Amino acid sequence: MKKAIWLLVLLALGFSASLAQTRTVKVGFVSTLSGGGAALGIDVRDGFNLAIRLLGNQLGGLPVEVLVADDQQNPDVARQAVDRMLKRDRVDFMTGIIFSNVLLAVGEAIFEEKVFYISPNAGPSEYAGEQCSPYFINVAWQNDNLHEAMGQYVQTRRFENAFLLAPNYPAGRDALTGFKRFFKGKVVAEVYHRLGQLDFSAEIAQIRAVRPKAVYAFEPGAMGVNFIKQYAEAGLLREIPLFLPGFSADADVIRAVGRAMVGIYNSSQWALELNNPVNQRFVEEFRKAYGRIPTLYASQGYDAALLLDTAIKAVGGDLSKKDELRKAMLAGFNSTRGFIRFSPNGYPIQNYYLRQVIQQPGGEIVNRLVGTIFTNHRDAYVDRCKLR
């Protein structure tokens, strides 16, 4: 009798293990795939999908299903998509959101369901500090970080003053806060404009009137393309140096603006030339798959999938082990930037680089890695987070 009972137990355990091995990982991917910010979401999506394809359409050895929705850069649309994925589709993880105002509108709902959100982009200061969550991990950066790096670089150039420009939303405000944290010169103007604005004639007139020694602008997506074009057409590129974060000077912006970008310095946590096997494979395979130079956004999408793969493997595919999953994520993974680990608030500890846009002998315009601004840099809010 006892032998029969043990046989039933062993069979049940074997059946459970089989289920664990064959269950599908569901990932909800909500991103901006239309409108002025579409290039950003498309790059993140393409990087994420490329990684999954190279992983054999699996994450951590389990088959994966990615459910995709376009948030249209609209928090209300994002709420509907997230609610559907959480309650109807019962996703295991979520990712994809580009804009911080969209993430802040849906984050609480995701965390309440105890679903991990792996951010491939948006890194609001709120989730770095008092509102940090054990279910939030950002593989990219905290919103302030690239701007802190450029603030430090502009400071080393000894510019006595600067004009600052950004869209009026959480990431825009975080951006200029980060820049001012390290730039100690005088801020002659700190201008915020409507998110999605494409006509910068008023701001350019203000710059011309103030005559600052330098201009720093955070303008993601189509905003960046239009601002740089208009700044160049106004003749200001020859008169007042323009400094940018990597978002506003990456391959997507270079493709749209063209030769006017040559010479511009920008800050980034990632570069084409980073010499590690993960990045080399990513750059080669992305060019092959999509016929274009990858952006930092694409690298972040790729890294989001790699982090999930690493963490799911660490728990043997048992997604019910939430604490173990979180520990595995925080412990770090091999990314396109090398091995990256995380602070308790879920934000990465990493290097930040200086890049300059150049034109290569064959005519291709790309970012060239110039040097390192910060090494193993943490965000400024981690001590406000109670997670340990």
Q: What is the pLDDT of residues 288-326, one digit of tens each?
A: 999 999 999 999 999 999 999 999 999 999 999 999 999
Share of the chain above pLDDT 90, in %: 93
* Gap between the Cα atoms of 100 and 98, Å rounded: 7
pLDDT at position 22 is 64
- Whether 6 shows a pLDDT value over 70: the answer reads no
pLDDT at position 23 is 87
Phi first, then psi: give them for residue 63, nearest 5 degrees: -60, 150
What mean pLDDT do residues 21-44 have? 93
Helices (H), the chain: 2-22, 38-54, 75-87, 100-112, 125-128, 145-156, 170-182, 201-210, 222-233, 251-257, 277-290, 296-314, 322-331
What residues form DSSP beta bridges with 356? Answer: 265, 368
* Gap between the Cα atoms of 70 and 44, Å rounded: 13
Over the stretch 187-231, which tens digit does the pLDDT of each residue have? Answer: 999 999 999 999 999 999 999 999 999 999 999 989 999 999 999
Q: CA end-to-end span of the chain, whole Å?
A: 49
- Whether 4 shows a pLDDT value over 60: the answer reads no
Average per-residue pLDDT in the chain?
Answer: 94
- Whether 51 shows a pLDDT value over 80: the answer reads yes
Q: What angle do CA 206, 207, 211 make, to 5 degrees?
A: 120
Tell me, yes or no, if the pTM score tops 0.85.
Answer: yes
* Gap between the Cα atoms of 42 and 61, Å rounded: 26
How many residues are given for the chain?
A: 388
* Gap between the Cα atoms of 265 and 254, Å rounded: 13
Tell me which CATH code domain 24-143+274-349 carries: 3.40.50.2300
Over the stretch 58-95, which tens digit does the pLDDT of each residue have? Answer: 999 999 999 999 999 999 999 999 999 999 999 999 99
Residues 6+ apart with CB under 8 A from 201: 230
Residue ranges, CATH 3.40.50.2300, the chain: 24-143+274-349, 145-272+353-377
What mean pLDDT do residues 329-355 have? 98
Buried b (16+ CB within 10 A) or exposed e, 149-158: bbbbbbeeee
3-state secondary structure of 174: helix
Closest residue by Cα to residue 224 from 242, 208, 240: 242
Buried b (16+ CB within 10 A) or exposed e, 214-234: bbbbbbbbbbbbbbbbbbbeb
Helices and strands in the chain: count of H runs, count of E runs: 13, 15
Where does residue 215 fall: left (phi above 0), alpha (psi -120 to 50 degrees), or beta otherwise?
Answer: beta
Pick the CATH number of 145-272+353-377 from 3.30.1330.90, 3.40.50.1370, 3.30.870.10, 3.40.50.2300: 3.40.50.2300
- Whether 9 shows a pLDDT value over 60: the answer reads no
pLDDT at position 366 is 94
